[in-house]
Structure 1
Amino acid sequence: MNDLDTAMIRAHEMGDRAALIALYAQAAGGAQDLDAACFYLTHAYVFALEAGALEAKTLHARLVAHGREA
């Protein structure tokens, strides 16, 4: 398991939404293909919405840019 996976698991265990947003956004940036990137972006976006985080707007814009959200 790589460091990013380990950090994601720990953030889930701790309920650390800020870390989850950042880690999933980071995973999207390093994804091997667009589908994987959008999978991670969607998770980051949902966590941001749940947390009322400002990042939600940027994450949404990235999903729209990839044709994943209207």
Structure 2
Amino acid sequence: MSTLEARLLAAHADGDGMAMVALYREAAETAPTEAERAFFLTQAHVFAMEVAHPDARTLRDTLVRMGRETPL
């Protein structure tokens, strides 16, 4: 298990939504494929909305540019 995976599991266990946003974004940065990057950014966006994270809009905009979300 990678350090990132361990930190993600710990954040989930702790219910730490703010950490999950940061960790899923980190995972997206190192994702080897566009599909994996989109998956991790989607997870970051979901948790960002749940905790009213200030980057929720930016994450959504990124997903729109990737064609993974519909523009409002």
Q: Which amino acid aligns with 1:14?
A: D
Q: Deviations over 1:2-42 (max 9, x none)?
A: 00000000000000111000000110111000000000000
The separation in 2 between residues aligned to 1:44 and 1:11, in whole angstroms, is 12
The separation in 2 between residues aligned to 1:31 and 1:55, in whole angstroms, is 20
Q: Percent identity?
A: 41
Q: Does residue 68 in structure 1 map to residue 71 in structure 2?
A: no
Q: Which amino acid aligns with 2:29?
A: G
Per the normalisation by structure 1, the TM-score is 0.97
Q: Structure 2, unaligned stretches of length 5 or more?
A: none
The separation in 2 between residues aligned to 1:21 and 1:51, in whole angstroms, is 9
Size of the aligned set, in residue pairs, is 70
Per the normalisation by structure 2, the TM-score is 0.94
